[in-house]
Structure formats: C-alpha cells, structure tokens
Structure 1
Amino acid sequence: MTGPAVRVDTASAVPPYEQIRSQLAALIGGGRLPEGERLPTVRQLAGDLGLAPGTVARAYKELEAAGLIRTRRGAGTRVAALPAPARAEAERLTRLARAYVAEARATGADEAAVLTAVRTALGR
C-alpha cells in the first residue's frame, strides 16, 4: 500500500479492528486506494501498528465480506472493484466532503478543527 497510512488510537473507545476497517473502507470508497492496490499483509500491518495479527485479520475479514478487498493465496490482498452504485455514492460523498473542507478552510479552520467538527457531527 503506497497510499495514505492507517492509524490506530489505542486510547479510543472504538476497537482497533474497527478503526482499521473504517479507515480502509473510507480510503477505498473515496478512491484514495484504487482498485487493484495491494494492501500490506496481515502480519506487516499488525507489526507497523503494534497490534496482534488477529486484530488486523478481523478488519480484513470484514472488508472482504463487504466486497471491498479480495485475498488470493500467492497474490496477496488487493482492493476490489467497487460496484457501480457504491462507486457513485462514494464519489458523491467525496464531493460533499471536499466542499465542506473548502468552506471550513475559508473560515480559517485548520485540519484539526475540521476533523473535530466532523467527529462531532458523527456523534463521536
């Protein structure tokens, strides 16, 4: 995976596997991890994040069940093609997010303030 990094906040109430799953799902849905992009192995990502391999395996299993990634023996884990409706929805969501970020930055908000506002809106 040459794209954006996944981060885990061990102090968060959200379980680490869910943090990994949701971040990768957002990166895939938003197009930042394109179809065919190879993801790190379970062991590699677990080592990078300082987590147990089972934690990463659970996140990958849920992503695979959702049709977002595919694992093939010998070929590794790769980003799957999004179905057309999911792709259109992801593109719309990305456009909305970009518009929000542009408006927020126009008010002088920095990245931390923008992320805090999004987390607040999500109820976290």
Structure 2
Amino acid sequence: MSIVFHVELSTDSTQPPYDQLRMAVIEQVRAGTLTAGTKIPTVRALAAELGIAPNTVARAYRELEADGVVETRGRQGSFIASSGDPTRDIAGRAAVDYIATIRRLGLDDSAAIEFVQRALQA
C-alpha cells in the first residue's frame, strides 16, 4: 500500500528542495507517521505531485537510502527502512566508525574523548 505523505516545499527557503523533501521524510519517520515497511511514492509520482523535477526527488531518495531511512526493493519500489529516529541510527554508526578509527591509530579512550570535546568547542 502506497502512502502519500504530506510535504510542503518552500520556494522562499534557502534550503534546496531535495533537502526540504529529505528532512520532511525524516520528520515524519520520527513522528511515527511513516513507519518501517511503508511504501513511499515513486520518484515520478512524487515529482508530479509536488511539481518538481524527478531528479530532485531521486536525489532526496538516494540520500535517504544512504542514511538508512529508505530502502529500495527493485521493482517493488521504495519503502521506509527504519522507524524511530533515523538521525540517532546515523549518529550511532558514526560513533562506532570514530572509535574504530581511534583504535586503528592506537589511541586510548581519553584521547578519543579529548578529540570529541575539542570538536564540540570549535
């Protein structure tokens, strides 16, 4: 079952349309409006509905897929891949990658924390 989610793109925004669309999907996943397994509109159908270029929707979908929010199942279409807060999943993976890098460099936990504190202060 395909769902038409509510998306409003602002022509006055400094945020590009693909990013507005990407964030709208993420916000609806966070809110529970779009749940795991929900089929989302095709690129062409959503582009026509929003009155934007298909490449704009395709870019948003690609970025959502790279972030693990959307998954494409070939001819079956695209679906919401995760429920809850996808940004926390992304941040968690980044933290794991960071620690793996720290370990490869032979640094200890105190060094890892020091780098994070410096980055937060910058």
Q: Which residue of 1 aligns with 2:73?
A: 72
Distance 1:23 1:46 in 2: 14
- Tell me the TM-score normalised to structure 1 length: 0.63
Cα deviation 1:21-60 (Å, max 9, x = unaligned):
0000111122110111110000000011110000000000
Distance 1:4 1:39 in 2: 8
Distance 1:72 1:48 in 2: 22
Unmatched runs of 5 consecutive residues or more in structure 1: 91-124
CA contact (8 A) 2:4 2:40 kept: no
Q: What is the count of residue pairs matched by the alignment?
A: 87
Q: Which residue of 2 aligns with 1:27?
A: 28
Distance 1:77 1:41 in 2: 7
Q: Which residue of 1 aligns with 2:110?
A: none
CA contact (8 A) 1:38 1:76 kept: yes
Q: Which residue of 2 aligns with 1:47?
A: 48
CA contact (8 A) 1:3 1:32 kept: no
Distance 1:4 1:10 in 2: 19
CA RMSD of aligned residues (A): 2.1
Distance 2:27 2:82 in 1: 14
Q: Which residue of 2 aligns with 1:97?
A: none
CA contact (8 A) 1:3 1:33 kept: no
